[in-house]
Amino acid sequence: MTDYKTIQGRRVVSLASDPPGPVSEGQIWYNSTATEFKTSVKVAAWASGGNLNTPKDSLGAACAAPITAGMVFGGGGSTGHFAETELYDGSSWTEVGNLNTAREILGGSGTQTAALAFGGQKSNPNANANESEEYNGTSWTEGDNLNTARYLIGAGTQTAGLGFGGAGIGLTRTDASEEYNGTSWSEGNNLNGSRGYLAGCGTQTAGLAMAGSITGTAHATVVEEYNGTSWSEVTNCTQGRIRCGAGGLQTSAVLFGGIIPAVTNKAESYDGTSWTNLADMGTARYFVNGHGTSNSAVLAAGGLTAASAANHTAATEEFTEAATVKVITDS
């Protein structure tokens, strides 16, 4: 907790009340009415959101959507593969139009009114999909196929999508990247190494690939950034993990959940330079998906809480980081 030693030798403004509106982190003032020194600090935490309508894992997500307008689609559960789409309004989920092809571990990009779903696994674990579908806010229509059928990670928007990594036929890991322009897919430059069960987020010209399984390392910490032309390795994440979730942008991301090798609720954030450990999620889970627009607002949905088909979860959690006012004590 902040104490008086923090403000020794500093000039502090005196106010009759706390400043209106958002206050910058670290700002200090004296509230003359309350006769208290106060400061603004950031508080980061996970909080429970509304449950999905159906417990499921390995969802696709509209990764560019804010947490108050979330969207997930497809996924797997105890009864097989799903085609359902669900929209989130910040408190509850509503089922809308189904995908044309039921599948799990698929890539996704875009928003609630303009989403893109692609790839994944259908029918059984070795039947990889190359189909793409576009959502217009009401229904899904088929788009151009991926060049390589596989499960993979998605980033970007409906008309500027990015798919990378994953595994193809026989669950062989791949380093392939593909870009979508709203009409067709074209091959981009590859990741620096083949990687399966990874997490990712960002945009088509500023993608971020995190963790996963690589040759010789079952739970990798390797992180790569994409600049629209090539991938380059950057600072490793703190905890190696697979089957994890992520949300945010290339320079403002959150990585959460997964297997390390135990199922974990650990989370960490990336600011484009370094990683910082965050508060734990309420529910440890893997094959969890999510999205968000920064490392201060991320949504996590679904997943498996243990290695059993009976342990699919419908739980949703929201991660937020915001400034709050604290009283400076004399301790």
Q: Give the integer Cα–Cα distance in Å for 311 and 286.
A: 11
Cβ-based neighbours of 124, under 8 Å, separated by 6 or more: none
Strands 267-270 and 252-256: antiparallel
Q: How far is CA 130 from the centre of its chain?
A: 22
Say whether 271 sits in a helix, a strand or coil. coil
The pLDDT mean for the chain works out to 91
pLDDT at 1 over 90: no
Instruction: Give the mean model confidence (pLDDT) for residues 81-102.
Output: 96
Q: pLDDT over 70 for what percent of the chain?
A: 94
Query: What is the location of CATH 2.120.10.80 in the chain?
Result: 50-314
Instruction: Give the mean model confidence (pLDDT) for residues 249-265.
Output: 96
DSSP state of 218: S
CB-side exposure of 209: number of CA atoms within 13 Å? 37
pLDDT at 177 over 70: yes
pLDDT at 255 over 50: yes
For residue 32, what are its two tokens?
């003359």
Q: What does the pLDDT read at residue 138?
A: 96
Name residue, tokens 């088509």.
204
Instruction: Give the mean model confidence (pLDDT) for residues 140-153.
Output: 96
DSSP state of 242: B
Q: What does the pLDDT read at residue 254?
A: 97
pLDDT at 135 over 90: yes
Q: What does the pLDDT read at residue 2?
A: 45
Per-residue pLDDT reduced to its tens digit, 25-45: 778 888 888 888 878 777 789
CB atoms within 10 A of CB 48: 11
CB 196 within 8 A of CB 212: yes
Higher-pLDDT residue of 308, 262: 262
For the domain made up of 50-314, give the CATH fold. Neuraminidase (2.120.10)
pLDDT at 330 over 70: no
Instruction: Give the mean model confidence (pLDDT) for residues 97-117.
Output: 96
Q: Give the integer Cα–Cα distance in Å for 53 and 69.
A: 16
CB 193 within 8 A of CB 175: yes
Q: What does the pLDDT read at residue 3?
A: 46
| pLDDT-based confidence at residue 308 (cuts at 50, 70, 90) | low
